[in-house]
Amino acid sequence: MIHRNNESPLISTHLRSPNVREFLYSILFLLLVAGYLVRTHLIFVSRASSELQIEFEKVKSLMISSYMIELRKLLDR
């Protein structure tokens, strides 16, 4: 008996089994779902991070101006 690509008959029989094929398809499906969830989470984290960066810049500018006001008060004494 000649097998393609020098496969053993046991391996090719197992790969053709409906249970193994169903198992592999379920793993593929789970990987796709996990990839989608990770991508969605990364997009959410990226947006939240950019919003926090904008808020931080606003707070930083307010803090710098308040420090300048306090410094002027100290220098004017």
pLDDT of residue 14: 58
pTM assigned to the model: 0.52
Angle at 57 (CA atoms; ends 52, 61), nearest 5 degrees: 150
pLDDT of residue 64: 80
Q: Return averaged pLDDT per consecutive 10 residues of the chain, 77 residues in all.
A: 54 68 95 98 96 89 80 81
Measured distance CA(37)–CA(12) in Å, rounded: 34
> Residue 65 gets which letter from DSSP?
H
Q: Which residue has tokens 């197992």?
A: 14
pLDDT of residue 47: 95
List, in order, residues 6 or more apart from 12 with CB less than 8 Å away. 3, 4
What would the two tokens of residue 66 be? Answer: 């308040």
